[in-house]
Amino acid sequence: MKFLSVISLCFFLCLCVHSVLSENAITPPRGWNSYDSFSWIISEDEYLQNAKIISDQLLSQYGYEYAVVDYLWYRDLKGNSNSRGSDTIDEWGRLHPDAKRWPSSNGWKGFKNVADKVHEMGLKFGIHLMAGISTQAYDANTPILDTKTGKAYEESGKVWHAKDIGIPERACKWMDNGFMALNVTSGAGKAFLRSLYELYISWGLDFVKLDCVFGEDLDFEEISYVSQTLKEIKPSIVFSLSPGVKATPNMAKVINGLVNTYRVTGDDWDKWSDVASHFDVARDFGAAKLIGAQGLNGKSWPDLDMLPFGWLTDPAVNQGPHRLTNLNLEERQTQMTLWCMAKSPIMYGGDLRNLDSWKKDGLIINPTLLFINANSKDNAEACEPFLLLFVRFSSITTLNDVNNIEEEEKEENEDMENVKAEVSTSGIRAWVATGNNGGQSPQGQDIYIAFFNLNNVPKTISAKIDDLAKALPGKKLIGLQGREVWSLKSITIGDVLSAQVAPHGCALFVFDY
């Protein structure tokens, strides 16, 4: 069998990404998010310009279909990322776009006109929301809308207001001046959330990113009620949670069936330390069999966060895109390869209008990586101690030696519920996955093997095939032909699979089986 052709890759990418039918997120969602390039200050024109590029250059061939407005689209530019009293709210305490940045929202029209334009481009429209209720609504003590009556919510002879449902002592940890939790168990709390989502869905919403509700801010009651509301009003909406600080596989198992994606780390920026920190997390959620597990009206995916490539801004600033990413080519290849092997949602963060910043290296449009992200299965870090590490000017070290030491240090009463895979401290990681071969034969399969070098010096990474087969049970590997994706070198597997890998770099092998 021959390698995947670009034509067959593109055909299957379109087939798998766009033929969702009645189920949500059958493959990891793919699109663009404004945060990494615009922080919170993006305007209507800037957003639509980026959406147009997605539609023209990234949709039909590469499957990028979501255009997401990230946080604080309702805040006046005179405020800041944690100001109080700078937001646009209606008489019911519901947030509306800042009309100075989003002029088509004038007259309380919301995002309806923007969403219509996005849909005309063939894309899907998404927004970021904060969990709970805004401090501005709480301070104004706005009444709660009962959408069943069109009047203020009443219960037990009382008209309910924001101060009846807001919980100031549970302010959002990273935006304590902006939002607080609400009492979702009360009828008024449910009525407030219902009024929010009925309004936002009426604008044409396809994707919800709900923040300050997972990880260390876990609010199961709000996640559950929002999930139920979305399912009732518009079942096709993709429901995403953020952020993932202190998220665990156990926590994810409680909510994965209610959502479609959920962040499993804090914010990922263009620092090598941020990229490297995702390997343990990706390993643990993969080992827990959470990749592609049951989700809201479809599947769910652990989310490693946006790709901070290209033309960016800085965290939480009042400034748009003004600099190139700090990640070098090898580091970007490593990040894109891990994200695709772990089947994370692929949300590009750079300003797409700077074409050279994303088209020149071709990472986000690499057909092999995108095919793996959408179509592979059995994705996992290879935890068997089979890798051999050849360090220049030093003796050979095996991961077997490392794991034996670690095994002796494990506590006898280790909590197996946490489902953590074996840990490598050598700075060498490997992932494996399988998949079909692009439909080139009925029984054809591909085998994907990725080596990662997290060290600051080059390493030669080798794997004995007899041991590597333990991570791919039932596969006869010797004699398989394939290629290494980044170097384009042809490979025939012998007794050992080996690659010289640059600092912070990776090697990705694709073999026909």
Distance CA 152, CA 108 (A): 19
Tell me the three-class secondary structure of 157-209, residue by residue. Answer: CEECEHHHHEEEEEECCCCCCCEEEECCCCHHHHHHHHHHHHHHHHCCCCEEE
- 55 DSSP 8-state letter: I
30-375 is a CATH 2.40.128.690 domain:
no
Look at 4 and 139; give whichever has higher pLDDT: 139
Tell me what pLDDT residue 437 has: 64
Range 44-69 average pLDDT:
97
Overall average pLDDT of the 384-407 stretch: 39
- Kindly state the average pLDDT of the residues 434-455: 78
Give me the pLDDT at residue 407, please: 40
**pLDDT tens digits for range 79-99:** 999 999 999 999 999 999 999
Mean pLDDT of 431-439: 79
Kindly list the domain boundaries of the chain, sorted by start residue.
Answer: 30-375, 428-512
Using the predicted structure, report yes or no on whether residue 167 has a pLDDT greater than 50.
yes
Decide: helix, strand or coil at residue 255. Answer: helix
Quick check: 458 pLDDT over 70?
Answer: yes
User: What pLDDT does 305 receive?
Assistant: 98
For the segment 8-25, the average pLDDT, to the nearest whole number, is 52
Kindly indicate the confidence band of residue 389, based on its pLDDT and cuts at 50, 70 and 90.
Answer: very low
Tell me what the mean pLDDT of segment 360-364 comes to: 93
pLDDT digit string, tens, across residues 123-136 = 999 999 999 999 99
Mean pLDDT confidence for 94-108: 98
Secondary structure class of 112 (helix, strand, coil): helix
CA 262 to chain centre: 7
pLDDT at residue 489 greater than cutoff 80: yes
Confidence at residue 22, expressed as pLDDT on a 0 to 100 scale = 64
pLDDT at 66 over 60: yes
pLDDT tens readout for residues 182-215: 999 999 999 999 999 999 999 999 999 999 999 9
Note the pLDDT of residue 425.
54
CA-to-CA separations, 229 to 19, 235, 263, 459, in angstroms, rounded: 24, 9, 21, 51
Candidate from 3-12, 144-153, 345-354 with smallest mean pLDDT:
3-12
Answer with the residue of higher pLDDT: 245 or 383. Answer: 245
In single-letter form, the type of residue at position 71 comes to Y
Q: pLDDT tens, 280-323? A: 999 999 999 999 999 999 999 999 999 999 999 999 899 999 99
Is residue 403 over pLDDT 80? Answer: no
pLDDT at 32: 98
- Token pair, residue 419, equals 């489902």
Q: What number is the average pLDDT over the span 376-388?
A: 75
Please name the fold of domain 428-512: Immunoglobulin-like (2.60.40)
Q: According to the model, what pLDDT value does residue 382 have?
A: 87
pLDDT at 165: 98
Mean pLDDT for the chain overall: 88
For the entire predicted model, the pTM comes to 0.89
Quickly state the pLDDT bin for 15 (edges 50, 70, 90): very low
- Cβ atoms of 5 and 368 closer than 8 Å: no
Kindly state the average pLDDT of the residues 105-126. Answer: 98
Q: Are 449 and 386 in contact (CB under 8 A)?
A: no
Residue 442's pLDDT band (cuts 50, 70, 90):
very low
How far is Cα of residue 336 from the mean position of the Cα atoms in its chain?
12
| Residue with the larger pLDDT of the pair 2 and 27 | 27
Distances in Å between the Cα of 410 and the Cα atoms of 99, 303, 369, 386, 426 are: 57, 29, 36, 20, 18
Model confidence pLDDT, tens digit, residues 221-259? 999 999 999 999 999 999 999 999 999 999 999 999 999
Beta partners for residue 397, in sequence order: 389
Identify whether the C-beta of residue 78 lies closer than 8 Å to the C-beta of residue 217. no
pLDDT of 505 strictly over 50: yes
Q: Tell me what the mean pLDDT of segment 366-390 comes to.
A: 81
What average pLDDT does this structure show over 113-128?
A: 98
Q: How confident is the model at residue 443 (pLDDT cuts 50, 70, 90)?
A: low
Q: Say what the pLDDT of residue 476 is.
A: 84
- Supply the pLDDT for residue 220: 97
In whole angstroms, give the CA distance from residue 495 to residue 478: 7
Q: What was the pLDDT predicted at 436?
A: 80
